[in-house]
Amino acid sequence: LCSFIHSPKGFPKLKNDTFLRAARGEETEHTPVWCMRQAGRYLPEFRETRAAQDFFATCRSPKLCCELTLQPLRRFPLDAAIIFSDILVVPQALGMEVVMVPGKGPTFTEPLKEVEDLLKLRQKVDVTAELGYVFQAITLTRHSLEGRVPLIGFSGAPWTLMSYMIEGGGSTTMSKAKSWLYRHPEASHRLLRLLADVITDYLVGQVAAGAQALQLFESHAGHLGPEQFQGFALPYIRDIAQAVKSKLKEEALPLVPMIIFAKDAHYALRDLAHAGYEVVGLDWTIRPQEARAQIGKDVTLQGNLDPCALYAPKEKIGELVKKMLEGFGTQRYIANLGHGLYPDMNPDHVGAFVEAVHAHSRHINKH
């Protein structure tokens, strides 16, 4: 194991590059498909692997992350793997303590309350020292995949991470975090800039470790209106794409496709189309044709089946997938859900979704 963690070259040759081709806008025989949270609690084997482990201890174990990343690929013919990790490892790297509270979810023991609290954060983060365990997990997983499918790395986006750091956990209103944007705009920008710089280094490190695509999750975009999104989220989303690409060039690393997923940000689709990402991910609240009209033909779309559609009978899932493919078209498109898989979902229905995407897209392409 250790030998190739330090020299992550010599990776196995990629056998299925459908996902990467679609991301770059090249033609594909079928529409590629993967699922957000595909490594998760809906799989009994995931629950067994995770059972005795603290959540963040699992995140820090390259071996466990590798195993959890591979589990869904043993069951389903997915076209991509996404590394098992969590977006809150970035606030941890800044020196904040986050614990997973059963029944409540991730909780910050000391959230940011006042502007002075920003001084407690590490101002310079050595991502290899703080997040090297993620890089090791990526390298190990890339080898263990044996070239079956590409491996996606990811990070939370600055506004989403800032909102967690101030709220101290999940929130229905994000009122504490949003109040900073109104009361302390300068301090907010200081925090967002610090996060953007760390995220940039973190994403570049993931590519150096073997990630073949990157997704940025702006999961809390829906809490902002168009104006605040323009002011506090979009500039950093743009900066990250630009900075990651220029650093990859500087370091002679592969220029991997990048995906932006800003949940509930329909008001910003045109802006996101020009933010420097090859792929724009969509939640389930927008019609495929509308998204395509706003985003244009030069960017690949990803999404956007309502995750709850997987509770439907399998035949119904097939019909919904067919309709979705007809709406998006089978090219310049990556099928996915409009959000992550839920823990109580039936794995067979996930399989039905994946197979329906392959079958219907092949059929549409032939005719």
Catalytic residues: 37, 41, 50, 86, 164
Pairwise CA distance, residues 307 & 126, whole Å: 37
- Answer for the pair 242, 277: CB distance below 8 angstroms, yes or no: no
- Residue 33 is given by DSSP the state B
- From CA 81, how far away is CA 72, in angstroms rounded? 8
DSSP letters, 39-64, are SSTTSHHHHHHHTTS-HHHHHT-HHH
Residues 6 or more apart from 36 whose CB is under 8 A from it?
82, 261, 336, 337, 339, 340, 341
Distance (Å) of CA 163 to CA 45, 51, 141, 168, 192: 32, 29, 30, 8, 10
Place of tokens 């898989």: 341
